[in-house]
Structure 1
Amino acid sequence: MFKILLVCTGNTCRSPMAAALLAHRAAQANMADSVSVESAGLAACRQPASAPARAVMRQAGLNLDNHISQQLEPAQAEAADLVLTMTAAHKRAVLGMAPGAAAKVYTLAEFAGQTGDVPDPFGGSEAEYQNCASQLDKLLTGCWEKIVTLAGKK
């Protein structure tokens, strides 16, 4: 099983939306049995996904209704085969807590061959969440072939 961990701040918006989108992509490619997708936050405190994140994912045919945010633990980053963060600051924080994971930690944009961060829509309008989900989907599209290749080697 190829384990992918997506990381943001509170694990209520970006990383759960990215995880839902990526898990859906894996299921569509008949890879749900070979790719595991989880999300966590650097400052998570057992909260549900934000209402706009749930609404935007519902519009995409996905469900975050049962998501409860979880705090990133160093062992979780170490156990993952690939850690994708939403920002460069998140990447630095993950590397600070799990330096042994350095070879497998990237920002989502970096892994997709792009630059920049995924802005946090927390507290924003549903339209801002939709823009965030669209950006996540585009970046995940840019990552997909690499993920398929890595998962095939596992």
Structure 2
Amino acid sequence: MIHVLFVCTGNTCRSPMAEAILRKRCGENIEVKSAGIFAGEGTPASPNTAQVLQEKGMECQHSSSLLTQDLIEWATCILTMTSHHKQAILYSFPQSGDKVFTLKEYVDGSGDVSDPFGGPIEIYRETYAELEPLIEQVLSKLK
């Protein structure tokens, strides 16, 4: 079983979106979760995240989680939205170095996934459009 953990800042926009996309496409041999390096526990996904996922035919029953040692240990692969997130994880959990990548780095690219937080719905749609092909590449790489 492969365990994929997506990480962003507050676990209300990008990482829940990435989690939902992969969950919809992955088979039974992949489990997926998301967390935030500065997340409050139990916060729902942002309304715009929920709306974009609903527009794409995905239910959004998300509840935010703070990144913990248990989640680090659970994960086979940790994919962050930015290099800052990756560095924060490596600083707090140095033993995780061999399984932490930025999402774009993991699929042989570079750069960060844009943050839609606080923006209009169009920005969330753009972030979804940015994430979707990256998640497809992740899925191809994991299989």
| Aligned partners of 1:84 and 1:108 also within 8 Å | yes
Structure 1 partner of 2:103: 108
Structure 2 partner of 1:58: 54
The alignment yields a C-alpha RMSD, in angstroms, of 0.9
TM-score, normalised with respect to structure 2: 0.96
TM-score, normalised with respect to structure 1: 0.89
Please list, as runs of the form range in 1=range in 2, the aligned pairs for 1:124-143 lying within 5 A after superposition.
124-143=119-138
Q: 1:73 aligns with which of 68, 72, 96?
A: 68
Q: How many residues align?
A: 142
CA distance in 1, matches of 2:69, 2:94: 9
Structure 2 unaligned runs (5+)?
Answer: none
Where 2:71 maps in the other structure, the secondary structure is helix
Q: Which runs of 4+ in 1 moved over 3 A?
A: none
CA displacement 1:91-119 (0-9 Å, x = unmatched):
00111121111111100000111111011
| Aligned partners of 1:8 and 1:14 also within 8 Å | yes
1:142 deviates by: 2.1
Please list, as runs of the form range in 1=range in 2, the aligned pairs for 1:3-152 lying within 5 A after superposition.
3-26=3-26, 31=27, 33-45=28-40, 46-64=42-60, 66-148=61-143
CA distance in 2, matches of 1:145, 1:56: 24
1:14 deviates by: 0.2
CA distance in 2, matches of 1:138, 1:93: 25
CA displacement 1:1-21 (0-9 Å, x = unmatched):
210000000000000000000
